[in-house]
Amino acid sequence: MQLKQFNILIKLLFPMIIGLFLISIISIGSDFFNLEKNIKSEAKSYFHNTSITIDYILEKNIDLMKTLTFQITKNKTIIKEFENNNKKALFKSLSVLFEHYHINHNITHFYLHKKDQYKYLSIHDTSKYKHLTTKVTLTEAINSSKTVSGIEFDMRHHLTLRVVFPVIKDGKVLFYIELGKKIEKIIKEYTENSKADIIFTINKKHITRKDFVKWLDKNDKERSFDALENYYILDSSIPKIDKALERDLNKHLNFNSQFVENEGKKYIIHSQSYFDTSNKELGKLFILKDITDQYKTLYSSILETTIITLFILLITIWYYFKHIRKTESELNYAYKYVQQLSAIDGLTKLYNKQYYLDNVLKLIQNFSRFNSYVSFILIDVDNFKKYNDNYGHLKGDDVLIQVSKIIKNNFKRDTEYCFRVGGEEFLIVSASKDEENGNKMADALCKKIQDKNLEHKFNENFGVITVSIGLVTKHISYDIKIDELYNNADKALYQSKQSGRNKVTVFKEIVQKPVSSN
């Protein structure tokens, strides 16, 4: 006996250990997934805010430069000096303005152009140099005689945010004011404050390899030549881009919170294109958020979860060994209780219809050993809908409880089973050696429910709760048909309803038996 119990224990314990192990793996995997999801969600929110902020900063700077250029157009001295072709005086006046703009607004360059696009004055730098790219903003401003702004790249100024403003007098353009500001500094300041790394690139369509090497030599002599398949790298806060990151940058041109690695560090990356005034892509800005520390925390959390899970697993196994018998007993009790709950109607505490459908044939077969006849007594509360409509559903529920109690008190034998099979419909399956027993019991039940005197003003002719009953009794045989019995009882019930209610109708006789008023 002990060996048998031990075998049962092993059979139960082994699946349990496997199950707990799988649950542990799933739990750890779920922790990893959720933590990684949170990291990604935070990064998405960060990148979204970064994109909005960068766009806002650029727009704000454009508005600032438009305001500054507009102020110049209102300076009568500057207008007069230009008209008199007094270049020296004009340069002096504009130099004072540029110094103010540079100190207070970080303006990096200041030009005055004549209509023929000739660079009449370079206020910020008098030395001449060749632009690597055509000034689209200046060209568009000259062609349209309107203020034009955009991002461009040139030999000295990296990526420059430009505003070209036409100075108009008497309906004619006198000259163009061009202000510029390095956007690398704008964005770099933002990303430094937000602790992110950046990679600035320019599309290879806009600059030759030779010119880029020249630019690199002038602007960043310490940095080695750096290029991707479609972009040159202008600036990067990451000291070295390894092969894995370079491969990712080449493979995915557009990033939206993807995970990448570089030099043993883990990042989430986002890319954002920037365009010139003709909506052509100049290059891409890659923003990388270092999540290495977050992943260390993640791995640490997973390790802690694993240790705790293993500890719980060991405690559970020990507890299981110690309390197997008690647990088994409790489970058996719980199983019987659940079975009982699934079989019992919650309101009336009678057996429910599902229990009837699942067990009625088996019950009748059990009856056949000691009894000859089975009766189906189908009961329906008269005018119950009117009762609910006028007294309310809570009162209606109370009536059903009262009726069910009377039914239970009248049918207590082991061969009598009571069911609630519908809203206000009940069924009694009763077996007896006496063929007339079901008829007598149904008559007694009908009278007792009326005598209970439960008020029902809307039950015509009676004024109290009454029931109509349909009865069928049949000799128990091996080929007895349950559905036929139920349908016949239902037909008899219908006959009771049609002929005045508060009565019993026996199917085989179709005889109505009114309840005595005594």
Cα separations in angstroms, 329 against 16, 37, 324, 335: 18, 43, 9, 10
Most confidently modeled range among 1-10, 32-41, 57-66, 135-144? 57-66
Stretch 315-326: mean pLDDT, rounded?
69
**What per-residue confidence (pLDDT) applies to 442?**
96
Stretch 427-447: mean pLDDT, rounded?
93
Taking the domain 351-514, which CATH number applies?
3.30.70.270
Q: Which residue has the higher pLDDT, 446 or 177?
A: 446
Q: Which residue has the higher pLDDT, 316 or 481?
A: 481
**What per-residue confidence (pLDDT) applies to 36?**
72
Q: Does residue 192 surpass a pLDDT of 70?
A: no
Which CATH number, 3.30.450.20, 3.40.50.720, 3.40.920.10, 3.90.1300.10, labels domain 38-294? 3.30.450.20
Percent of the chain with pLDDT over 90: 26
**Torsion on CA atoms 451, 457, 458, 464, rounded to nearest 10:** 0
Q: Does residue 231 surpass a pLDDT of 80?
A: yes
**What per-residue confidence (pLDDT) applies to 190?**
63
Range with lowest mean pLDDT among 85-94, 274-283, 412-421 = 274-283
d(CA 302, CA 29): 9
Percent of the chain with pLDDT over 70: 82
38-294 and 351-514: identical CATH topology = no
H/E stretch holding 381: strand 373-381
Stretch 235-242: mean pLDDT, rounded?
82
Q: Tokens at residue 435, please?
A: 């063929």
C-alpha closest to that of 136 among 125, 148, 124: 148
Q: Residues with Cβ < 8 Å from 224, sequence gap 6 or more?
A: none
* SS3 label, residue 317: helix
**What per-residue confidence (pLDDT) applies to 188?**
63
Q: Does residue 236 surpass a pLDDT of 90?
A: no
Q: Does residue 162 surpass a pLDDT of 70?
A: yes
Mean pLDDT for the chain overall: 81
Q: Does residue 49 surpass a pLDDT of 90?
A: no
**What's the one-letter identity of residue 108?**
T
**What per-residue confidence (pLDDT) applies to 506?**
94
Q: Tokens at residue 93, please?
A: 């006046």
Q: Does residue 12 surpass a pLDDT of 70?
A: no
β-pairing, 231-236 with 351-352? unpaired
Q: Does residue 387 surpass a pLDDT of 80?
A: yes
Q: Does residue 224 surpass a pLDDT of 60?
A: no
Give the model confidence (pLDDT) of 115-148 as tens digits: 775 667 788 765 544 444 457 778 888 888 888 8
Give the model confidence (pLDDT) of 274-306 as tens digits: 877 677 788 888 888 888 887 787 777 777 777
Cα separations in angstroms, 450 against 235, 446, 455, 502: 96, 7, 10, 8
Q: Does residue 500 surpass a pLDDT of 70?
A: yes
**What per-residue confidence (pLDDT) applies to 168?**
85
| Residue ranges of domains in the chain | 38-294, 351-514
**What per-residue confidence (pLDDT) applies to 239?**
79
Q: Which residue has the higher pLDDT, 248 or 390?
A: 390
Confidence of residue 225 (pLDDT cuts 50, 70, 90): low
Q: Which residue has the higher pLDDT, 446 or 241?
A: 446
Q: Does residue 487 surpass a pLDDT of 70?
A: yes
Q: Does residue 509 surpass a pLDDT of 60?
A: no
Q: Does residue 159 surpass a pLDDT of 90?
A: no
**What per-residue confidence (pLDDT) applies to 510?**
46
Q: Tokens at residue 260, please?
A: 């990448």
Range with lowest mean pLDDT among 8-22, 154-168, 243-257, 469-483 = 8-22
